[in-house]
Amino acid sequence: MKPISRTRPATGRIGRTRRYVALSSLAALTLAIGFTTSASTGQLMDTSATAAGPVSTARATALGPCMISGALGVQMSEGLPTGPGYTRSTGTVHALTLMIDFSDAPGEGSADARLAEFFPQTSEWFRTSSYGRLDYRPEVPVKGWLRMPKPFAAYGIERGAPFEPGYRDLVNDLVATADPEVDFREYDMVNVLVTPNAGPSALDTVLSVTFAGNQEAPIADGVPISNASFVYSRQDDGSGSYTQTGYRVLPHENGHVFGLPDLYTQNGGGAAGHWDIMSEDWGASNDLFAWHKWKLGWLDDNQVSCASAPGATEHKLTPLAERGGTKLAFVPLNSKSGYAIELRTHAGNDEAVCRPGVLIYRVNANVDTGRGPIKVMDSTKDSGGCTRRPNVQAELSDATYTPGETFTDKKRHISIAVTSAGKSGEYRVRVTRP
């Protein structure tokens, strides 16, 4: 089979240099002693603002076994709830968006045109994926390119560059330059859209990076720049153009700001395929896993069905792209991992789905970002997949289970059978477990 990902050089796929700053163990300790979870959103709030009440207790009882969590120190865990320090992922979020350039890489075209590569598409993507729960507003208080005081080369930013010292210098300079026009307290996160002529082409090296939950970041107007995404170059959508899907690097980077880990690994998209933008943000549009939507507070608890009881249970799933209904069934294996079950169709943000059906994947909250915290179970191993779209991992594109098919974990005596598909688009699934 001809590899579809050929249009994207291996250096780009394997050496993704996206970085983030993991929570320090001190911050995690704070989580344990000083914070509680909001029952309605899963977002972390200070105990002074949210008291654990009857609803929290009910959640712990009904969904508790499915709220897996990782050990302290896991980098950007898939666990629930998301740790403190990340940007809130529901309601109205104000994203300070700055276009920057350098004396050795003067702004290419207008700053407005650079902004238009990402907006309004990024806001629309979030509105669709969140069922309207995330109102994402780019805010552009500085018109035109913001010129950094030093040449790009002086910051030493290259593939894999850590926060220290280059990015700290850059953020310090950015704050000092923008400060007369910007009150940093007014924003929930920062997007830095770098002029595309600074640094290498995205086809050679991916420089785009996010520093998330970084409380040690430089302070501006009294608040740390703790959640910031930097986007470089332009991402070809596989057809030689970036205009259709090139924006997708930004919702991926912002996913980190909201606490989501990278799902691609050293082997590219082989673990999670094209089923989540945290796995593949190149090529055709895709959505997020239902697990991520629950984690982000975009699903109500009553849209999640926890299959923790022994024996057989029935679960009716509605398509992930549609509003309402049960979106996620989860089969916890232990306190740290389990199987997630959802229904994916060609709709909403999912434009590359070529075999609609029930997707089953293993979530492990104890696995670091980039090490494969989510693995999709392939119903059709070694089939070569059902898509030939550029920049879409092909093999897992037909991983879904359709009516009459059953996934079995022989070792754990677990089976997940797709029993029927209804006229209005819902699927029924039977989970059997010890």
DSSP 7-57: GS-HHHHHT------PPPHHHHHHHHHHEEE-TTT--EEETTT----HHHH
If the CB atoms of residues 121 and 279 are measured against Zn ion, the closer one turns out to be: 279
| Residue 389 binding Zn ion, by CB under 5 A | no
DSSP at 254: H
CB of 259 to Zn ion, least distance (A): 12
Total residues interacting with Zn ion, rule: CB under 5 A: 2
If the CB atoms of residues 175 and 212 are measured against Zn ion, the closer one turns out to be: 212
Q: Are 206 and 16 in contact (CB under 8 A)?
A: yes
Backbone angles phi, psi at 400, to 5 degrees: -65, 155
d(CA 228, CA 191): 6
If the CB atoms of residues 182 and 209 are measured against Zn ion, the closer one turns out to be: 209
Query: Strand, helix or coil at 141?
Result: coil
If the CB atoms of residues 262 and 398 are measured against Zn ion, the closer one turns out to be: 262
| Residue 13 binding Zn ion, by CB under 5 A | no
List the x/- string, 258-297, binding to Zn ion by CB under 5 A: ----x-----------------------------------
DSSP 162-223: -IIIIIHHHHHHHHHHHTTT--GGG-SEEEEEE-TTSSS-TTT----EEE-S-TTSPEETTE
* Structure tokens that stand for 59 in this block: 């959640």
List the x/- string, 223-262, binding to Zn ion by CB under 5 A: ---------------------------------------x
If the CB atoms of residues 253 and 378 are measured against Zn ion, the closer one turns out to be: 253
Residue nearest to Zn ion (CB): 18
Which of these ranges, 15-23, 88-96, 189-197, 425-433, lies near Zn ion under the rule CB under 5 A?
15-23
CB of 268 to Zn ion, least distance (A): 13
If the CB atoms of residues 136 and 427 are measured against Zn ion, the closer one turns out to be: 136
Residue with tokens 């302070």: 219
CB of 281 to Zn ion, least distance (A): 8
* Structure tokens that stand for 87 in this block: 């940007």
Beta bridge partners of 362: 339, 375
Q: In the window 304-363, what residues touch Zn ion (CB under 5 A)?
A: none
Which of these ranges, 16-24, 266-274, 306-314, 407-415, lies near Zn ion under the rule CB under 5 A?
16-24
CB of 221 to Zn ion, least distance (A): 28
| Amino acid, res. 329 | A
- Which residue in 419, 394, 421, 393 sits closest to 407, CA to CA? 419
Quick one: 56 exposed, middle or buried, by C-beta within 10 A (0-12, 13-18, 19+)?
middle
Which of these ranges, 10-18, 23-31, 242-250, 337-345, lies near Zn ion under the rule CB under 5 A?
10-18
If the CB atoms of residues 18 and 344 are measured against Zn ion, the closer one turns out to be: 18
| Residue 18 binding Zn ion, by CB under 5 A | yes
If the CB atoms of residues 18 and 375 are measured against Zn ion, the closer one turns out to be: 18
d(CA 277, CA 273): 9
Site residues (CB under 5 A) for Zn ion?
A: 18, 262
